[in-house]
Structure 1
Amino acid sequence: MKSSSTRVAQRGFGLVELMIAMLLGLILIMGVMQIFITSKQTYGMQQSAATMQENARFVLSRISSELRQVGMFGCLDIERLPIATRNQIPAAFATPVTFQDGILTIITADSAVERVTEEVTLTASGLGAGWLLVSDCVAGLRIDSGVGVTAAAGDLVVPVRQLEYRLADHALKTRVNGMGNFETLIEGVSGFDVQFGLAASDADVHVSGAYVTDVTGLESRVRSVRLVLQLAEDPSDPDAGSVKTKDFTLVAALRNRLD
């Protein structure tokens, strides 16, 4: 006959103990799941914020670089060319930066300015440009009008492009040389604004007064451009996203007008 102590040692879990164990296990699982869900949400928010930051950096860096190149043509100083030569310059060059009807237009020289080593005939379209300037950097200047232009050995070749940026369908879009459709650069854009810093006169080099949006008739006094880019996780409803809508601002100086 087994003793009473042995019978007690062989007893299993009762219903109450089993329910308590299940309840504790459920609480533990729910806690782990809550931590997992919170971590996932935090990761998603961080990813969204990082994407917004990277998109803003990419676009503002790109546009500011193009703005700083406005009026820069290597060794070619247009203002010092003879009057007869300057008269060949396309009229569009007089207003290299405009913001009209929500479109930012920049006329800027390509960074691929180079000298040719032998005589060659080039076209603007062949170099992905809207205009092609060929000069000896002294007095001579030839501009491609669509049929090509001949560059002699030692001439400087300057491709000039027209770049356009606009906000459409919650995306910042661009096109080159006014041809074709606008293509998307980044999405998630809820606002795009451009303002201009003006000098007090054509002779001054410093910005005077507040930034303005309308520079009609004052284009020669523009010294810097302020870009304001507003990004949202859900541009159609900026307040609905888990990441707060952010404004990114950058001011780019037109270097050739600060000398």
Structure 2
Amino acid sequence: MSRAATAAQRGFSLIELLIAMALGLILVLGVTQLFLGSKRSFVLQQQMATLQENARFVLTRISRDLRQAGLFGCLDLQRLPADTRSRLPAEFTEPIAYGGGVLTLLSAVTAHDPLASAGPRSAADYDARWLLASDCLHELRIASGSDALEVSPGDVLIPIRQMEYRQSGDRLQARINGTGNFETLIEGVAQFAVQFGLASADGERSVAGHYHSNLDPLDGPRVRSVRVRLALTDAPADPATGLVRPQTYTLVAALRNRLD
């Protein structure tokens, strides 16, 4: 066989093949690591976005209810005649309360037509717990739940809704109008803490001193603002093992009707 034929049939040596395989393996490992890193980064971003969206949803809802707590439409309960005030539900004396880990808020339902036409109405018609019919001065009639309230033309209707919030395990739950079961709003809750900013006296508008973790019923009229601290995690059983560190969100809401 000629030297030219031998040269034409010559291929890669074993060493060259091993080097090529090693380089290919390194390249594959590099691409794999890049893919895994990108996937982990994507998952982390998704988890962070989920926590932020959950916090935004809950805090926006609680903030709205806090700002309206104690709002009873055109009525000033303190200026009603004594015999009229005596007929108010006991819950009206504490439009904002906190006990047993449950934050309870009372406020008027604003999305309705307040001027009534003659006929029966009920609180259930407005997804409320109580329905008030008043002339905004001294006359007041009350019905609760599905009980019918006969209203006259010109009556101002004021539906009053009760909201409750609590942490149960790793869930933040809510209940409307004090009946039925609590429903879960979000999961992954590591902490739900509530603190209250109190004025030095009933007639003062500003918060005096630091915020208080406990609320005595006698101090309820002095509440001017509420601070809510919400800690969320993607691993409630052991936050230290989560993909992302626990995220803490803080909300401070003022009670509008007590700052006027």
Instruction: State the TM bucket, normalised to the shorter chain.
Output: over 0.9
SS at match of 2:110: coil
Structure 2 stretches lacking a partner, 5+ long: none
Gaps of 5+ in 1: none
**1:121/1:151 contact within 8 Å kept:** yes
Identity rate, percent: 51
Letter in 1 for 2:236: P
Equivalent residues of 1:114, 1:158 under 8 A apart:
no
Question: Partner of 2:74 in structure 1?
Answer: 75
Within the alignment, does 1:169 sit opposite 2:154 as a pair?
Answer: no
Alpha-carbon distance in 1 for matches of 2:204, 2:136? 26
Contact 1:56 1:248 in 2 (8 A): yes
* 8 Å contact kept, 1:74–1:113: no
- Residue 105 of structure 2 corresponds to which residue in structure 1? 106
CA contact (8 A) 2:109 2:126 kept: no
- Higher mean alpha-carbon deviation, 149-158 vs 180-189, is at 149-158
> Normalising by the residue count of structure 1, what TM-score does the alignment of the two structures yield?
0.93
* Cα root mean square deviation, aligned: 1.7
The farther-off stretch of 174-183 and 85-94 is 85-94
- TM-aligned CA distance change 1:135 to 1:5, over 3 Å: farther
The answer to which of 89-98 and 241-250 deviates more is 89-98
Contact 2:116 2:157 in 1 (8 A): no
Name the structure 1 match of 2:93: 94
Per mean C-alpha deviation after superposition, the further-off stretch among 103-112 and 36-45 is: 103-112
1:235 partnered with 2:236: yes
Amino acid at match of 1:91: A
SS in 1 for 2:185: strand
1:54 CA displacement: 0.7
- How far 1:118 sits from its partner (Å)? 2.0
Worse overlay, 184-193 or 168-177 = 168-177
After superposition, where does 1:190-201 map in structure 2 within 5 Å? Answer: 190-201=190-201
Instruction: For 1:102-181, list aligned pairs within 5 A.
Output: 102-145=101-144, 147-181=147-181
Secondary structure (helix, strand or coil) at the match of 1:181 reads coil
**Count of paired positions:** 258
1:116, 1:152 within 8 Å by CA — same for their partners in 2? no
| Secondary structure of the structure 2 residue equivalent to 1:218 | helix
Tell me the secondary structure at the aligned position of residue 40 of structure 2: helix
Counterpart CA distance in 2 for 1:193 and 1:237 is 19
Deviation per residue, 1:183-203 (Å, 9 max, x gap) = 110000011110000001111
